[in-house]
Amino acid sequence: MAGISTKSARILVFSTEKISDPAIDMAGLLKLHYPPTVYTISVPCSSGIKPAWILHAFEKGFDGVFIAADGSDCTYGESCTVKTGRLVSMTHEIMKEKKLEPARLRMAAICSVCSEAFVKQIKSFNQYLLQMTQS
């Protein structure tokens, strides 16, 4: 089993303290495995992530950044979905300018019990990133 870690992409996940982080915790509780090179930093709300942080992660060598967004469950208001979407497209624009493949930043709404959805998303993102780095 050892050494598997080298075969997975490095992904930085921004999760949210009240909504998506509990889902990621539950993925662990249910022993739904995903690559161990997936790291989470949790923030209060996905609409408060600065594009600069995302770009910083790419600069430091992360293959992908995944935003586990609050979606419509956000405790700070319905505008969260729109605002998170906006910051993601803003970042996509900057990435294009910087010649970074925009698909390396993904977002999906992960509700507080969406453990399976999270793992599925991450696995497919990992697949995508691995293929991309190989080609």
Output the DSSP codes for 76-123: T-THHHHHHHHHHHHHHHHHHHTT--GGGEEEEE--TT-HHHHHHHHH
CB atoms within 10 A of CB 30: 11
Q: How many CA atoms lie within 13 A of 29 on its CB side?
A: 9
Work out how close the CB of 31 gets to another protein at its nearest, in angstroms, rounded to a whole number.
6
Pick 22 or 106: Cβ nearer another protein: 22
Pick 83 or 106: Cβ nearer another protein: 83
Work out how close the CB of 39 gets to another protein at its nearest, in angstroms, rounded to a whole number.
5
Residue ranges that bind another protein, judged by CB under 8 A? 1-5, 8, 10, 12, 18, 21-22, 24-29, 31-37, 39-41, 43-45, 47-53, 56-57, 60-62, 73-77, 79-80, 83, 86-87, 90, 112-113
**By three-state DSSP, how is residue 135 classified?**
coil
Pick 56 or 98: Cβ nearer another protein: 56
Work out how close the CB of 2 gets to another protein at its nearest, in angstroms, rounded to a whole number.
4
Closest CA to 64 of 92, 42, 38: 38
